[in-house]
Structure 1
Amino acid sequence: MSMRLSILSIAVLSAFSLHASEQNIEHIEVKGDFRQLSVMQVAGSVAVLTEQDMQRQSAQHLDDVLQQFANVNFAAGASRGRFIQVRGIGERSEFIDVINPSVGILIDGIDYAGLGLSSVAHPEQLEIFRGPEATRFGTNALAGMVNFTSKNPTFSPEGKVSASLANYNSWQVSGYYSAPVSEQVAYSLTLDQQQSDGFIENAFLKRDDTNNIDEFTGRFKLQYLATEQLQVGLTAHLIDQQNGYDAFSLDRNRTTLSDEPGQDALRSKALAINLAYQGFSFADFTGQLSYLNADSDYGFDEDWSFQGIHPFGYSYQDRYLREREQWTLDYRLVSKPTALLFGHTDWVLGFYTSNRDLDLQRLRRKEDERTLFASNLQRRNMSVYGETQTALTEQLSLVIGGRVEQYKDDYVDIANSQLGSDETMWGAKVSLNYQLTPQTLLYGLVSRGYKVGGINGEALSKAADENFAVLATKASFSPESVINTEFGVKGSSADGRLTTRVAAFYMWRDDMQVKGWINPDLGPEFAGFIDNAASGRNYGVELESRIQLHNQLQLFVSTGYLQSRLGTYFTDSGLDLTGRDQAHAPRVNYSVGADWLLTEQLSVQAGIQGKSGFYYSDGHNAKADSRELVNFRVNYQLPAWELALWVRNAFDQDVGVRGFFFGNDPRDDYAAHVYEQFGEPRRIGITASYSF
C-alpha cells in the first residue's frame, strides 16, 4: 500500500507544480473516445502507442506490444496471444464454450473480440483503455478495450516498405501506401506477410516448424469527401493465417514429441462503411455499418506424444472448427464542440446493435473412436447510450454517461439441447474533472461495466455421462458486473520535457466468471466449464511518464501495481481459493525504455520489460515465474532509408505465456506437473525500411 501511495503522491505533487502554456500540451489524440481529445484531456486511464513507440520494441505482433503497458497481460494457448487481461480481468482460452471477452479488440471500429489482432505493421496508433468502458463500448469492455487504427488515407502521396530477417528462419515484408485519386477521394493500403519456423523442435517428427507462423494481413481504406459536410469511408480487411500449433512438451521444455501436430488457422474478411455528417446545426452525426466473416481451425495433439511412447500411453486428437458471421451498426449524434463555458453541456446520444451467428464443430479422436459435437449460438445485442459533459465552473466539469443493453441468446447443439436467455444490462460512468492548468488534469470517476452470461456447451455435451453427472448443474453461467472507482492526475512540465499520467483504482467484481475443470480420475478425460465465483477485488496504481533528459536522450517509464483477490470460491475438486490472487494478474509489471540519438543518423533504443510471477488459472495454484525481458535496437537513418539491427529477449529467458497443472505423461504414471507454453526466446533480426 505504501508503494502505491508514494507513486500517487509524487504524481499529485508534481502536477500542482506544473505551469505551462497551451501549445506545450501533448496532443496525441485518443481516437476511440466519443470525441478525439488529447490523451492528457481524457478522464480515464488510457495508454497510446504510435508507430514510433512500437518500433522501439521492434514489435511484429500484439504479443510484443502488450509488454509495454502497465497492468496489462495476455495468455496464449495457441500460436499467438489473443486473450488479454487488464487489471487482472480477462479470459485465457476458448474451447467449446462461447466466451464474451472482458477485453475486446476493435480494428478500425470493427469488432474482433476473441479473434485477436493479426498484425501491428504500420499502424496509425494503438490504444488501451483500462477499466470498465461500458458507456463507450458495451459488453466487450468489462475490464477495458484494445483499439487499433490502421493508416488513414492522406491527400498527399506517401508510403513505406519494410523487410525484416531474423533467426528461426523468420522473415517479414510489409508496407503501406496512401494517395489521392482526386480532390475528393483518397485511399490507403497496408499489407503484411510474416513467416517463421517458430521456436519448437519436434523430436519425434524431426522437424523444427510444427509451431510455425504464416500470416498475411491486408487493410484498405477509402475516403470520399462528398461535400463540405459529408464524408464517406470504406474499410476492408483480409486475414489469412495458417499457423501451426505444437507448443506443449511432456519434458516441459521447447522439445515436443507430438506425432499429430495441430494447427491454428484463421481466414477472415471484413467490410465497413463509415459516415460523418457535420451539416446539422446542433450536432455531428457519425455511423458505422460493418460485416465480418471468420472461419477458424484450431486443433492439437491432445496426448502431446506418439503412439508407442509407453504401454500406458494414449492417443487423442482434438480439433475445433468455428464459423462466425456478424453484423454491427453503431450510430451516434455528438453535439457541436464548444469551449464548454460555465453552465454549458456537451452531449452524445447513440444507438448500437449487433447480430452474431456462431457455429462450432468439435472433432475429437480417442484412439480409433471419433466423436462429433456441433452447436450453434445466435446472439443479438441492442443498446442505447449517452453521455453529457457540463461545465460547473471554468475549470470544473461533470461527465455523466450510461448505456442500457439487451442481449438475446438462442443455443442449440447436436444433442438437441436448446437454451435461450434474454437479459437487460446496464453500465454507467460519472466523472468529475478539474483542469488545474492547461496542462494538468485531475479527475475522479466511478464506472460500472458488465459482461453477458452464456451457455456451457461442454457441460451439456457430457452431462449424460454418469462420471460427469455434476455438469448437469453447470448448463449456463450468469452475467458479471464490476464497479470501478478511480482517481487520476495527468500533467506536463512547462517546457514539455516531462509528461506524467497516474491513476489509482479500486474495483468490485460481482458474479465474476471463472474457468473450472472436472477430472473424475479418468486419466486424460476432463471437462471445462465457466462458473461464477461470488465476488472479487482488484485495486492498484498505473503510472506512465516520458522524460526528455536532454535533446538527445529520452526516457519512457510505465509501471503498474496490482492487488487482486478471489472472493469465496471452492473448485469442484475441493480446492479452497478464497482470497487468492486472480489468474494472470501479476502484482507488479513495468517497462523502461530509452531513445538515445548519438548522431543525426545513428540512434540506439533500449528497453526492459518485467513482471512478477502470477497464477495461470482460477482452478489450480500453478504459477508462472517472474521475468525481465531486455531489448535493443540500433538505427541508422538516411534521408529515405532506415537500417536497424534489433534484439528481443536478449538474455534468452524462458517466459511462460500459458500454463496447466495435471498429469499427461505415461512415463511417470501421469504425475501432475505444471506444463507451460513458452513465449519467444532470444530474437535477433535486421530491418530495412524505405519511405517515399
Structure 2
Amino acid sequence: MRFSLSLVTAAVFTALVTPVVAHAENAAAVTAIERITVQGDLRQQSAGQLAGSLSVATEQDLQRQSVQHLDELLNQFANVNFSAGASRGRFIQVRGIGERSEFVDTINPSVGMLIDGIDYSGLGITGISDIAQFEVFRGPEATRFGANALAGMLNLTTKGPTDTPEGKVTVTLADYDSYQLAGQFSNAITPQWGYSLALEQQVSDGFIKNTHLKRDDTNNIDEFNARFKLAFQPNSDLTLQLISHFVDQDNGYDAFSLDRNRTTLSDEPGQDKLRSKALALQTDYRGLPFARLQGQLSWLDAAMDYGFDEDWSHVGLHPDEYSTTDRYLRNREQLTLDYRLVSTDAGRLGDSDWVLGIYAASKEFELTRQFWNWSLWQADSFASALTRTNLAVYTELSTPVSDKLTLISGVRLERYEDDYADSSGNQIGNTDTMWGAKLSLNYQPNPQALIYLLGSRGYKVGGVNGDALAKAADDSLSELMSKASFAPETLYNAEFGVKGTALDQSLVTRVAAFYMWRKDMQVKGWLNPDSGPQFAGFIDNAGSGRNYGIEIENRLQLHPQLAVMLSASWLKTKLGNYITIDGDDFSGREQAQAPRFGYSVAADWYLSDAMTFNIGLQGKDAFYYSDGHEQRSSRYELLNLRLSYQLQHWQLAVWSRNALDKDIGVRGFYFGNDPRDGYAPHLYEQFAEPRRVGVSASYQF
C-alpha cells in the first residue's frame, strides 16, 4: 500500500510540473498537440479533461502489436481481462468485474461493447482493421451508458467518410495457415454526400490438433466483416450518417482437451457461428439556439450457433465413456434509441453546461438448446424467449466553482420490464426501476493537468434463472427452486485521479486510485448431481464485494527516435458472504478473473526514417477462474515483436506475437470428464494463441 501511495504522489507531482517544463522548452508546441476526442463522452471532451479512468487506442496502437482481433488488444490496458469459452474472447472484465460465459440463461453484461454506437454487448466482434479509435471506460458509467456499464464500457469507432479519396489495402500471412485480407476506401460523392467502405476476411486453421480425426482445423477461424457509412450534410446545421454492419463468422470450436494441452480427441467438434446485420442512423443538429441535438437510432439482428462435444473424446476411448453434444441456437433482435440535447453558449444555465437525454430499447432473445437429458436418458431440447424493454432519462451538469475548479454531476433513471417464457411452462415477468449517478470535483491547475475526485453509482438488472427452473422438476435438483431468480446488483465507486500532459506531448501520465463496493453482487453458480455429467447453471447473489486498486498509464518520448508506453495495475478483490448451493464457503476470497497485478510495456524505436522496431511486453498475475472453485490460471508474460519498413505508400512488416510461446489460459473449468482416470476432477483450460509469426504488407493511397 505504501508503494501505491508513492505512485499517486509521484503522479500528482508529474502532472503539475510537466506542462511547466514543456512550456519552457517550446511554448509554441501547444499548436501541434494532437487532440484525441473521447467519442463515448456526452460532451466529447479530450481524454485529459475527462474525470475517470479511461484508455484510448488508435490505429497506431494496433499496428505496434500487430493486432488483428480485439482480444489481442485488451492485454495493453490496465485492469482489463477477458475470458473465452468460445472460438474468440467474448466476455470482458474490468477491475475484476464481468461475466465469463453464457449458456442457457441470457445475461446482462457488466461490461458492454458499442461499435459505432450499436450495442454488441455479449456478441463479441471480429476484425478491427478499420478502427479509428477504441476507448475503455473503467468504473460505473451508468449516467452515460446505463445497465450495460456496471464496471465499464468498451466503445469502438470505425473510420468514416472523408472529403478526398483515401484507401488502404492490407494483406497478412502467418503460420497455422492463416491469412487476413482487409481494405478500406472513403470519398466524397458531392460536397454534401460522402461514404466509406471497409471489408475484411480472416482465415486460420487454429491452434488445436485433433488426433482422433487427424485434423488441425477443428478450432478454425473463418470470419468476414463489412462496414459501410454514408454521410449527408444538407446544410451547415445538420449532419446525418447511415451506418451498416455485416458479420459472417463460421468458426470451429474444439478447444478443451482431456490431456489438458492443445491436443484433442473429439469425434464431434463444435462450432461457434454468428451472422449479424445492423443499421444505425446518427443525427447531429446544430440549428437550435440553445443546444445541439445528437443521437442515434439503431437496429441489430443476430443469429448464433454455438455447440461443443461434451465428452471431448470419441466412442471407443474407454468402457466407462459417454458421448454427447450440447448446442445453443440463439436469435437476438434489438431496436435502440438514444438522443440528447447538449447545451451551447446560448443555452447555458448561468455558467453551467448541461446535457439532457432519453434512451429507449427493445430487445428480444430466443434460445433453443439441443442436449442429452440424463434424467430421461434421451435427446432433448429446451426453448426460451425473453423480451426486455428499457426506458431511461439522464442528465449531466458541469458547473464552474472557480477558474480552476469544476463540479460535474449526473444522474440516470432507468426502468426495465422483462417477459420470460420457456418450454417447461414457466412464464415470469420482472420489473424494476434503477438509478445511477456520478459526482466529480475537477481541479485544473493548468490546461494540461487535471486532478479529480469522483463518486459514481452503477447498476445491473436482475433476472430469471431459466436453466434452474427447467431442471427443478427433477427430484435430484429440487434445491434449485430457491434459485429461480436473482436480484439486481449495485456498484458504488470512489476514485481519485491525476492526469498530466506536456505541451509537446513528450510526457503523458495518468493515474487513478479507486475503491468499489458491490451490493448483491451477481456470481455464477453450478450444481452437478450424481446423475451423469449434467450441470445446472444459475446466477446467484453474494452478499457484497470489495474491489480496490490503482491504474497507471504513461507515455514518454525519451528521444526523437524512441518512445516508451507503460501501463500497470494493482487490484485487490474480495467476495462478501457467499456459500454455494453445495455448501462450499468462499466468503472473503478473491473474486474470479481478477489478477492482482498486470502490466504492459511497449517501445517504438525509429531506426531510420523508413524503419521502425516495436517491442511490447505484457504480463498478468494468476487469477481464479471461477467464484465457485479454487483453480487458478498461471502467471504469464507475453512478448510481441515487430519490424516494419515504410516505402512511400507501402509498408512491409515482419512480426511475432507471443514470441516466448507461453500457454496463456483464457477460460478454466474444474470437474471430472476423463473416463481413463475414473472421472477424477481436474482443471481444464482453454489457451490463447501460441507463438505466432507472420508478415504484413499494406498499401495506402
1:338 & 1:615 partners in 2: Cα distance? 53
Matched, 1:52 2:60: yes
1:268 & 1:69 partners in 2: Cα distance? 28
Please, what is the CA RMSD of the aligned residues? Answer: 1.3
The match for 1:349 among 347, 353, 356 is: 356
Q: Deviations over 1:28-82 (max 9, x none)?
A: 1101101121111111111000000111110010110001000000000000001
For the 8 Å contact 1:105–1:117, the answer to whether it is kept is no
Q: Report the equivalent of 1:668.
A: 677
Q: Report the equivalent of 1:7.
A: 7
Matched, 1:554 2:563: yes
Q: Deviations over 1:644-676 (max 9, x none)?
A: 000000011001000001000000000000000
2:105 & 2:550 partners in 1: Cα distance? 33
For the 8 Å contact 1:333–1:349, the answer to whether it is kept is yes
- 1:338, CA displacement in angstroms? 8.6
The match for 1:99 among 91, 104, 107 is: 107
Q: Deviations over 1:446-472 (max 9, x none)?
A: 000000011111101100000110111
Where do 5+ consecutive residues of structure 2 fail to align?
A: none
Closer/same/farther in 2, CA of residues 91 and 672 from structure 1, 3 Å limit = same
Q: Report the equivalent of 2:656.
A: 647
Matched, 1:421 2:430: yes
Secondary structure at the residue paired with 1:40? helix
The match for 1:583 among 574, 577, 592 is: 592
The match for 1:286 among 294, 319, 323 is: 294
Q: Deviations over 1:352-403 (max 9, x none)?
A: 0000011000011359821010000000000000000001111100000010
Q: Report the equivalent of 1:89.
A: 97
Q: Report the equivalent of 1:545.
A: 554
1:391 & 1:433 partners in 2: Cα distance? 9
For the 8 Å contact 2:289–2:346, the answer to whether it is kept is no
- 1:589, CA displacement in angstroms? 0.5
Closer/same/farther in 2, CA of residues 416 and 360 from structure 1, 3 Å limit = same
Q: Report the equivalent of 2:224.
A: 216
Identity percentage over the alignment? 60
Query: Equivalent residues in 2 for 1:211-250 (5 A)?
Result: 211-250=219-258
For the 8 Å contact 1:560–1:590, the answer to whether it is kept is yes
Matched, 1:361 2:372: no
For the 8 Å contact 1:296–1:322, the answer to whether it is kept is yes
Matched, 1:35 2:62: no
Instruction: Give the AA of the match of 2:5.
Output: L
Q: Once superposed, which parts of structure 1, at least 4 consecutive aligned residues long, lie more than 6 Å away?
A: 338-341
Closer/same/farther in 2, CA of residues 226 and 516 from structure 1, 3 Å limit = same
Closer/same/farther in 2, CA of residues 531 and 588 from structure 1, 3 Å limit = same
Secondary structure at the residue paired with 2:47? coil
For the 8 Å contact 2:161–2:231, the answer to whether it is kept is yes
Q: Report the equivalent of 1:605.
A: 614
Instruction: Give the AA of the match of 1:199.
Output: F
Closer/same/farther in 2, CA of residues 34 and 573 from structure 1, 3 Å limit = same
How many residues are treated as equivalent by the alignment?
Answer: 691
Instruction: Give the AA of the match of 1:306.
Output: H
Q: Report the equivalent of 1:566.
A: 575
2:635 & 2:250 partners in 1: Cα distance? 31
2:347 & 2:159 partners in 1: Cα distance? 30
1:470 & 1:437 partners in 2: Cα distance? 61
- 1:3, CA displacement in angstroms? 2.4
Secondary structure at the residue paired with 1:17? helix
TM-score normalised to the size of structure 2?
A: 0.97
For the 8 Å contact 1:516–1:530, the answer to whether it is kept is yes
Secondary structure at the residue paired with 2:147? helix
Q: Report the equivalent of 1:443.
A: 452
Instruction: Give the AA of the match of 2:351.
Output: H
Secondary structure at the residue paired with 1:322? strand
Matched, 1:411 2:420: yes
2:168 & 2:270 partners in 1: Cα distance? 36
Instruction: Give the AA of the match of 1:269.
Output: K
- 1:337, CA displacement in angstroms? 5.3
TM-score normalised to the size of structure 1?
A: 0.98
Q: Report the equivalent of 1:399.
A: 408
Where do 5+ consecutive residues of structure 1 fail to align?
A: none
Closer/same/farther in 2, CA of residues 338 and 282 from structure 1, 3 Å limit = closer
Secondary structure at the residue paired with 2:589? coil
For the 8 Å contact 1:315–1:366, the answer to whether it is kept is no
For the 8 Å contact 1:467–1:520, the answer to whether it is kept is yes
Secondary structure at the residue paired with 1:214? strand
- 1:122, CA displacement in angstroms? 2.1
For the 8 Å contact 1:181–1:187, the answer to whether it is kept is yes
- 1:339, CA displacement in angstroms? 13
Q: Deviations over 1:155-182 (max 9, x none)?
A: 1110100000000000000011010010
1:158 & 1:24 partners in 2: Cα distance? 23
1:287 & 1:584 partners in 2: Cα distance? 35
For the 8 Å contact 1:26–1:38, the answer to whether it is kept is no
Q: Report the equivalent of 1:596.
A: 605
2:243 & 2:380 partners in 1: Cα distance? 40
The match for 1:125 among 118, 133, 148 is: 133
Q: Report the equivalent of 2:264.
A: 256
2:674 & 2:8 partners in 1: Cα distance? 49
Instruction: Give the AA of the match of 1:508.
Output: W
Closer/same/farther in 2, CA of residues 424 and 366 from structure 1, 3 Å limit = closer
- 1:679, CA displacement in angstroms? 0.4
Instruction: Give the AA of the match of 1:394.
Output: D
- 1:493, CA displacement in angstroms? 2.8
Q: Report the equivalent of 1:70.
A: 78
Closer/same/farther in 2, CA of residues 339 and 162 from structure 1, 3 Å limit = farther
2:300 & 2:74 partners in 1: Cα distance? 25
Secondary structure at the residue paired with 2:43? coil
For the 8 Å contact 2:199–2:225, the answer to whether it is kept is yes
Query: Equivalent residues in 2 for 1:311-330 (5 A)?
Result: 311-330=319-338
1:257 & 1:366 partners in 2: Cα distance? 23
For the 8 Å contact 2:290–2:345, the answer to whether it is kept is no
2:152 & 2:143 partners in 1: Cα distance? 12
Closer/same/farther in 2, CA of residues 418 and 515 from structure 1, 3 Å limit = same
1:3 & 1:267 partners in 2: Cα distance? 48
Closer/same/farther in 2, CA of residues 135 and 468 from structure 1, 3 Å limit = same
